[in-house]
Structure 1
Amino acid sequence: MTDSPSNTAALRDLAEQILDIAKSAGADAADAMVVQGISQTVSLRNGALEQAERSEGTEMGLRVMVGQRQACVSAADLRPDTLRDMAARAVTMARLAPEDPTVGLADPAQLSSMRDASGLELSDDGAAPLPAEMEDEARRAEAAARAVAKVTQIQSSNAGYSHRTIFLAGSNGFAGGYARSDYGLSCVAISGEGTGMERDYYGDGRIFRSDLISPEEIGREAGMRAAARAGARKPKTGKYPVFFDERVSSTLIGHILAAINGSAIARGSSWLRDALGEAVLPVGFDLLEDPLRKRAGGSRPFDAEGLAAQKRAFIQDGKLASWVLDLATARKLGLESTANAARGLTSPPSPSVGNLALVGPKVERETLLREMGTGLLVTSLIGSSINPTTGDYSRGASGFWVENGEITYAVNECTIAGNLRDMLGTIRAANDARSHLSRVIPSLLVEEMTLAGA
């Protein structure tokens, strides 16, 4: 689907129209986000078509400011009368809201000069896939998974597609927009019967359809993963090394991101609230954001407040170098925004990170497993009990038990626990990160955690 200039121009006209209406209704300042898009999904379950959906439309979110008070409203009905009612309601709500000294748009001097996504390759110009094509791909994935020995059923096989154009405009003079496309295919397979059933999955998501791996490869990998889990049992209880597989390792880094989010720091509710400049990862590790990567799902030319996206290190040589900030949290902390504002149609901006990579010393995955000795390889996490203030960590896990560096049997129904500061301070990294993902995080070995199993 091509993002035509006329399409972008129409969204710009809508955004500027609502800004003018908001000013006339009494807003001192305002910004608007308009999103136009289509999405379609096809889901199969054990060979039967379970779901086929398509949606399309244009929606708008409006944020108005009256003095140091703000309010947000949204609408999918974009007729002139609705827009006037929408703006009037937003101004009324803002006048009743509590005053917040951190509320305000970016200064014009702070705004990005980049107003579109030229060069980032975020939108596939090819035609949208037909529902019949998506169903065929889902069926091919399912057939490949079912052909794997020990696979007894297919829980689901899903194909999805979306294309949307986003336009952001503010009364501070910012106006910019870009298009984004997403294709995805996944399969969930089951091995065993009754109480002995075990499931696993595999999938792929890309901006360009031509980059997707084949349905057969997706189904086969899902089936092999499920088959490998046959006969899973509880592991030993005790203190052991824990190896977080690449498919779940990004959750560990996600806990760092939550802890250095400006909102958590401003509230004082983060286990890293006093750690700026201190070591949080081993020496040699950097945590880098690059919002300007080509064909990456977390890329963006500017943030949700119109500030220029730029490369940044949140951790350098193991030491915490920066918080994740939007304008409001930066003002609360007396700092400058890191251009990490994100927003939906119904809420004001808040800090968020897109593309991220953990860079540092790495070894071969199999070498790291051998050096691990005896412990747990985690491939799936369930539930969550993370204390955001202390960093105490406890999660349900499944995966494989490793003895003398070799995988010996599948594991389920266990709990792993520790403290994030201690865990992350001892990590070692494998060399298996997938470079096309928005989170390029390899498998990570944590030196020691408490396992509750048999």
Structure 2
Amino acid sequence: MEESLLADVVAAALKAGADSAEAVSAQRSALGINVRLGELEEVEREESRDLGLRVFVGQRQATVSGSDISPAARAKLVERAVAMARLAPEDPYAGLAPKERLAKGPFPELDLYDPQEPSPEALEEVARAAEDAARANPKVTNSEGGSASASSSHWRLVTSTGFSGVYHASAFSIMASVVAGDGETMESGYDGRSARWRGDLPTPKSIGEEAGRRAAQRLGARKIASTTAPVIFENRIAMSLIGPLIGAISGPSIARGTSFLKDKLNAQVFGKGVNIVDDPHKVRGLGSSPFDDEGVQNRRWSLIEDGVLTTWLMNSASARQLSLETTGHASRGLAGAPGVSTTNLTLQPGAKSQAELIADAGKGLLITSMFGPSLNGNTGDWSVGCAGFWFENGELAYPVTEITVAGNLVDMYGRLIPGSDLEIRGSANAPSLLIDGLAIAGR
């Protein structure tokens, strides 16, 4: 969508009585192919072009969005937004980002857009190759399918305070999921990857083979008795342990007083040597952007530095409420006021491989899948259903299922030991993580 169109919408909002305004546009095209048991199952194509408007009348705000961008529809959008704002309750912290914090060009070149547009036939070939490789495992008896997709998006923001920015991004993905059986039990396994550039993806054959291996490896899973033992979270799911941290250090949670870390700023939360960084300017990063969703200049942050919590994550509204400065972590869609999110979040690797962590722990649980997490946001009490492998004498012994692990995250973070096996699979990544003792509920 053209910059001039958004500038016209902002100008129209001011003329209609808004004191300030911002307009965002999102254009997206996507193509996804699913195959199952060697047959084409689904072709999904998406083309969208949407407009969002946020206006302020004093300390009152409203947001509206729509997909009709004709002049008449834009006029109604503006009229509706200003009318809604006049009726909204006052919010003493509402407002656009401070003008002095806005990003100024030229913006960093992040290499987020691959112009390739694979045909449906090419994507079907990739999806089929991934599923075929998974089904080639002799223990695989059924398939949940293989898929491949390609998408591109434009995001543009224009504000009445003079900001105008746009970035163009692409994404490509491959996935396979299959079921293994031995006549008595069935277990599923999957693998998948996404990347900004198509050439950065692994081969579909390697994706499929890993999915098949994981399904077959789970056969014979058994229940175990309840116990307390060392627990290792595999790198593929380890970030699920860190997700609650991000919610707990977000400005809105701190402002509401509903965070189990509300008194921990500049305190030792993790052990020494643990570092977590958030980098919006990672080249080809799946979470990268040249500015945040309020137009604020963003940058790399060391959220956890040598185990110490260094900052809250803030947008402009939560920063005002806390009498602090925004950290450039505003995140929004077309409708609604901005929230807070990270970009490319990475728990930095430690020195030991997963095998060495297992050897050091001796006896315990390796978690490879998780479901149904439960968190008390005020206390940090946390539990999750999971499956994985029991290990003894420093080696994997047998697969286990239908278990729950539980603990308090403040205590768990303090005892967490990162492994060395960091893999970049998405916008949030961690190596395998060892905690020396957790409550495990089994049969």
Question: Are 1:444 and 2:411 an aligned pair?
Answer: no
What secondary structure sits across from 2:220 in the alignment?
coil
> In structure 2, which of residues 109, 124, 127 is the aligned counterpart of residue 119 of structure 1?
109
Q: Which residue of 2 aligns with 1:403?
A: 392
Map residues 85-96 of structure 1 onto 2, 5 A cutoff: 85-96=76-87
8 Å CA contact 2:139–2:182 kept in 1: the answer is: no
Superposed displacement of residue 350, structure 1: 1.1
What secondary structure sits across from 1:431 in the alignment?
coil
CA shift in 2, pair 1:20/1:431, >3 Å: same
CA distance in 1, matches of 2:393, 2:141: 32
8 Å CA contact 1:283–1:318 kept in 2: the answer is: yes
CA distance in 2, matches of 1:115, 1:348: 27
Q: Which residue of 1 aligns with 2:21?
A: 30
Any gaps of 5 or more consecutive residues in structure 2?
A: none
| TM-score of the two chains, using structure 2 as the length reference | 0.97
Q: Which residue of 2 aligns with 1:374?
A: 363
What secondary structure sits across from 1:177 in the alignment?
strand
Superposed displacement of residue 360, structure 1: 5.9
- CA displacement, residues 372-394 of structure 1 (integer Å, 9 cap, x when unaligned): 11111001001121111111111
Map residues 7-406 of structure 1 onto 2, 5 A cutoff: 10-114=1-105, 116=107, 118-126=108-116, 128-192=117-181, 196-359=185-348, 361-406=350-395
CA distance in 1, matches of 2:349, 2:232: 17
Point out the more displaced range, 41-50 or 227-236. 41-50
8 Å CA contact 1:60–1:345 kept in 2: the answer is: yes
8 Å CA contact 1:427–1:444 kept in 2: the answer is: yes
Question: What is the alpha-carbon root mean square deviation over aligned residues?
Answer: 1.3
Q: Partner letter of residue 358 of structure 2?
A: L
Superposed displacement of residue 222, structure 1: 0.3
Q: Partner letter of residue 190 of structure 2?
A: Y
Superposed displacement of residue 442, structure 1: 0.5
Q: Partner letter of residue 353 of structure 1?
A: T
CA distance in 1, matches of 2:15, 2:410: 52
Any gaps of 5 or more consecutive residues in structure 1?
A: 1-9
- CA displacement, residues 345-383 of structure 1 (integer Å, 9 cap, x when unaligned): 011111110112223642122111111111110010011
Structure 1 moving runs of 4+ over 3 Å: none
CA distance in 2, matches of 1:194, 1:337: 58
| TM-score of the two chains, using structure 1 as the length reference | 0.95
Q: Partner letter of residue 351 of structure 1?
A: V
What secondary structure sits across from 2:121 in the alignment?
helix
Superposed displacement of residue 193, structure 1: 6.3
CA distance in 2, matches of 1:106, 1:311: 19
CA distance in 2, matches of 1:64, 1:35: 18
CA shift in 2, pair 1:338/1:195, >3 Å: farther
Q: Which residue of 2 aligns with 1:421?
A: 410
Superposed displacement of residue 235, structure 1: 2.3
CA distance in 1, matches of 2:141, 2:231: 30
What secondary structure sits across from 1:144 in the alignment?
helix
What secondary structure sits across from 1:15 in the alignment?
helix
Q: What is the aligned-residue identity percentage?
A: 42
CA distance in 1, matches of 2:177, 2:194: 15
What secondary structure sits across from 2:238 in the alignment?
helix
8 Å CA contact 2:232–2:365 kept in 1: the answer is: yes
CA distance in 2, matches of 1:336, 1:369: 43
- CA displacement, residues 281-330 of structure 1 (integer Å, 9 cap, x when unaligned): 00121211111110111111100111111111111111111000000000
What secondary structure sits across from 2:124 in the alignment?
helix
Superposed displacement of residue 48, structure 1: 2.8
8 Å CA contact 1:242–1:449 kept in 2: the answer is: yes
Aligned length: 443
CA shift in 2, pair 1:305/1:195, >3 Å: farther
What secondary structure sits across from 1:247 in the alignment?
coil
Q: Partner letter of residue 80 of structure 1?
A: P
What secondary structure sits across from 1:294 in the alignment?
coil
Q: Partner letter of residue 171 of structure 2?
A: D
